[in-house]
Amino acid sequence: MTSADPEPAEVKPERVLVVLAHPDDPEFFCGGTLALWADQGREIQYCLLTRGERGGDKAGTDPAALASLRESEQRAAAAVLGVRKVEFLDQPDGYLAPDLSVRKQVVRAIRQARPDILITCDPTNLFPGDRYINHPDHRAAGQAALDAVFPAAGSAMFFPELLIEEGLAPHKVRQVFVAMAQTPNTVVDVTATVPRKIAALREHRSQIPDQAGLEARIRERLLDPDSPPEAPRYFERFRLIDLSGR
């Protein structure tokens, strides 16, 4: 390159913001994908709406102590996957509602992180299977995230005080990956990163008492049934919403 040649443009890594309800949700819903993307150089940040203080059934459990434990577990799990930052919005676990105050918090997080890609979960998925009712916080988090992405985060007409008082300019998310989707249209091959997903999930000891059976359950859940037994493939599935043309 001669002195007259222009300097090559800096290629910035894609930014990913994960907006979900609880500690351990990112690892369960999309941990293999996040590990893969981190290995590819993408910058990943979590925005978790609660600290998981009701993640148990025993009477007498101290919610504050459980929240502190789950926050520590989440930070350790995120480090396994290569996540850069973990933020908690401190909404009440178990009582999450996708109201305007929560939407504003998520819009703030989007305008701060300025992600290219946002991951959340499907607010319409009430029955993921015949033996499971989807947690109401999952559905509320997905609703709040999608409502924040469009139209609020990208328009100066919504929550103008975020710009006027906090200097947070509007930001348009390019793609949304909806995990636990009723109608997925995209698969990510996470065969290479399933061990990292499982290792990250093992950090959530307060939530996963059956550590011995964890790997078998995860591999069964993610297995591509069309892959050969001698070379199994594992997929995480999403509903991809491409907003780049808007």
CATH number for the domain that contains residue 231 = 3.40.50.10320
- Whole-model pTM above 0.85? yes
Q: Can you tell me the mean pLDDT for 144-159?
A: 98
Nearest-Å Rg of the Cα atoms of the chain is 19
* Residue 10 covered by a domain: no
* Residue 175 covered by a domain: yes
* Residue 37 covered by a domain: yes
* Alpha-carbon span 174 to 228, nearest angstrom: 35
* Residue 182 covered by a domain: yes
* Alpha-carbon span 118 to 18, nearest angstrom: 6
* Alpha-carbon span 198 to 221, nearest angstrom: 12
Give the pLDDT of residue 240: 98
* Residue 1 covered by a domain: no
Q: What is the pLDDT of residues 11-25, one digit of tens each?
A: 678 999 999 999 999
Of 33-37, 93-97, 120-124, 128-132, minimum mean pLDDT range: 128-132
Say yes or no to pLDDT of 1 above 50. no
Q: For residue 105, is it left (φ>0), alpha (ψ between -120 and 50) or beta?
A: alpha
Q: Which residue is it, tokens 């109201």? A: 99
% helix / strand / coil in the chain, to the nearest 5?
A: 35, 20, 45
231, 62 contact by CB (below 8 A): no
Q: Can you tell me the mean pLDDT for 23-40?
A: 98
Give the pLDDT of residue 10: 62
* Residue 2 covered by a domain: no
Number of independent structural domains in the chain? 1
Q: Which domain holds residue 32?
A: 15-53+62-242
* Residue 8 covered by a domain: no
Q: Which residues pair with 177 in a beta bridge?
A: 119, 240
* Alpha-carbon span 205 to 218, nearest angstrom: 16
Say yes or no to pLDDT of 5 above 70. no
